[in-house]
Amino acid sequence: MKLPPWLWYVLPLAVLLWSASGVLSAYGRYQKARLQVQALEREVEALTRNLPQALGEAPVSLEALPLLYEALFRLAEEKGLQVQSLDPGEAAPTGGVRAWRVRLLLEGPYAGVLGYLEGLPGLGKPLWVEAYTLEPVGERGERLALDLVLRVLAP
């Protein structure tokens, strides 16, 4: 069975178009990956911008920690939050520096929790948030429980 002559022109053209679509889809995936990398780089810059500021400030000595705890309590009170617990920890090496560990459990409305997190940099102390957990309290979730782990630069 002999193939028609026009098929000899259409078949290579179809293969060429099929491979071109593969190249275009690969280029599209490459562009998406490149945009994701750029977004992640911007996020890393934003996260590390605040940490060197904290590391550039004077460390908090053991004697000054009660004043910091008082400032944390005052900020919580200003934002309408109730402090459920405060668990101070020992100074431990973290990322090449020594830092005190402070764990706070706060409870209050969403606006208060948000205001508290936004107000932490305004305390003027070399501290940063290491971890946090936010959970609704009660059936309707009108109040939130914030489990916050802070690190404070130690000498």
Tens of pLDDT along 83-139? Answer: 999 999 988 887 778 889 999 999 999 899 999 998 998 888 888 888 888 888 877
Which pTM was predicted?
Answer: 0.63
- Domain ranges within the chain, ordered by starting residue: 1-56, 62-153
Q: Which CATH class is domain 62-153?
A: alpha beta
CA distances to 97, 116, 142 from 126, in Å: 12, 16, 32
Answer whether 106's CB lies under 8 Å from 146's CB: yes
CA distance 27 to 22: 9
pLDDT recorded at residue 68: 92
17 pLDDT more than 70: yes
Return mean pLDDT, the chain.
Answer: 86
Pairing outcome for strands 127-137 and 82-94? unpaired
Answer whether 104's CB lies under 8 Å from 72's CB: yes
pLDDT recorded at residue 10: 86
